[in-house]
């Protein structure tokens, strides 16, 4: 019980510090309502050994009890310390377990996972091609953040949740939506000097604390840092296809 109280105290303190930091910067504060164990640094247990790159999160859709562990597939390649990028069809057999080292709660939890086969795209460049989705059957519903397929509006503020030491706040990184098309959400980081290393696979939250997408990569343009986010609507299509009768 003492550990539980300490966990909520630590999470509350982090949220309080973050809110004050964003208030001083004249941008909206981050969402205060989200499960404290839903996001962290993943450690992939694979056929090629264990690696711990990037970010991952636990998520679920409304009206569904299934919990998913979401991240990006390029972490299962050279950028994540693996010899070669694992093809989508091989991801389910390649990853057996994922340990999630929590950002907002102490310690970590190990999940046995069942990978979902994400459909390949003809050009192999569409954002869905880089999604890595796993069923985390041992996860509790209270540990997962809710996914919404409702896209954020243009100029709406969203938050990339990742551990970035060079940022004004280490965990919450506000960005303004500048493009909410079908393939990508493009967002401009509030901090022009941010270097979001380690953010690949991070959940992107709206003001209600719901996941609107997964952070994939960024580029610099005209002194601004743009985030490329895979929209949640693409995840919904993949899950629907997996669940439909063959």
> What pLDDT digit, counting tens, does each position of 170-217 carry?
999 999 999 998 888 999 999 988 999 999 999 999 999 999 999 999
**Which pair of structure tokens corresponds to residue 232?**
């949640």
Range of lowest pLDDT (39-53, 105-119, 121-135) = 121-135
Decide: residue 217, CB within 10 A, 0-12 exposed, 13-18 middle, 19+ buried.
Answer: middle
Give me the chain's average pLDDT, please: 85
Q: What is the pLDDT of residue 120?
A: 66
Query: In this structure, what DSSP letter does residue 206 have?
Result: -
Question: Which residue bears the tokens 């719901």?
Answer: 210
219 SS3 class: strand
Q: What is the pLDDT of residue 126?
A: 60
- Give the separation between CA 162 and CA 42, rounded to whole angstroms: 12
Q: What is the pLDDT of residue 146?
A: 94
Question: Does the structure show a pLDDT above 60 at 14?
Answer: no
Is 186 domain-assigned?
no
Question: Does the structure show a pLDDT above 70 at 17?
Answer: no
Is 94 domain-assigned?
yes
Closest CA to 198 of 86, 112, 101, 105: 101
Measured in residues, the chain has a length of 246
The number of folded domains in the chain is: 1
- Percent of the chain at pLDDT exceeding 90: 61
Q: What is the pLDDT of residue 241?
A: 63
Q: What is the pLDDT of residue 145?
A: 95
Is 226 domain-assigned?
no
242 SS3 class: helix
Question: Number of helices and strands (H, E) in the chain?
Answer: 3, 14
Predicted TM-score (pTM) of this structure: 0.85
Q: What is the pLDDT of residue 2?
A: 44
Closest CA to 52 of 60, 42, 40: 42
- Alpha helices (H) in 2-85, listed in sequence order: 2-24
Q: What is the pLDDT of residue 63?
A: 81
- Write the CATH number for 90: 2.40.10
Is 237 domain-assigned?
no
Q: What is the pLDDT of residue 20?
A: 47
Is 128 domain-assigned?
yes
pLDDT band for position 7 (cuts 50, 70, 90): very low
> What pLDDT digit, counting tens, does each position of 20-75 carry?
444 445 566 777 778 889 999 999 999 999 999 999 999 999 888 899 999 999 99
Is 176 domain-assigned?
no
- Give the separation between CA 166 and CA 183, rounded to whole angstroms: 29
Residues 6+ apart with CB under 8 A from 7: 36, 105, 106
Per-residue CA distances from 181 to 45, 127, 185, 186, 231 (Å): 35, 12, 6, 8, 9
Q: What is the pLDDT of residue 155?
A: 96
Is 175 domain-assigned?
no
More confident residue, 103 or 34: 103
> What pLDDT digit, counting tens, does each position of 77-94 carry?
999 999 999 998 899 999
230 SS3 class: strand
Question: Does the structure show a pLDDT above 50 at 11?
Answer: no
Q: State which residues form the domain around 127.
A: 39-146
Is 7 domain-assigned?
no
């Amino acid at each position: 019980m003492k550990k539980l109280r300490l966990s909520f105290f630590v999470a509350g303190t982090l949220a309080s510090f973050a809110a004050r930091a964003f208030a001083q910067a004249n941008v909206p504060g981050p969402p205060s309502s989200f499960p404290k164990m839903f996001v962290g640094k993943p450690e992939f247990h694979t056929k090629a050994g264990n690696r711990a790159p990037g970010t991952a999160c636990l998520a679920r859709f409304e009206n569904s009890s299934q919990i998913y562990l979401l991240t990006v597939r390029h972490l299962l390649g050279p950028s994540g310390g693996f010899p070669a990028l694992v093809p989508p069809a091989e991801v389910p057999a390649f990853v057996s377990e994922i340990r999630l080292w929590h950002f907002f709660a102490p310690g970590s939890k190990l999940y046995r996972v069942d990978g979902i086969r994400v459909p390949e795209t003809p050009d192999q460049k569409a954002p869905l091609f880089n999604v890595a989705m796993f069923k985390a059957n041992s996860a509790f519903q209270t540990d997962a953040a809710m996914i919404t397929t409702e896209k954020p509006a243009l100029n709406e503020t969203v938050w990339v949740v990742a551990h970035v030491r060079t940022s004004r706040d280490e965990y919450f990184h506000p960005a303004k939506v500048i493009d909410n098309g079908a393939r990508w959400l493009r967002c401009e980081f509030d901090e022009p000097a941010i270097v979001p290393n380690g953010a690949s696979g991070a959940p992107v939250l709206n003001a209600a604390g719901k996941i609107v997408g997964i952070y994939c990569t960024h580029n610099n343009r005209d002194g601004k840092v743009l985030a490329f986010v895979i929209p949640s609507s693409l995840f919904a299509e993949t899950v629907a296809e997996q669940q439909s009768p063959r």
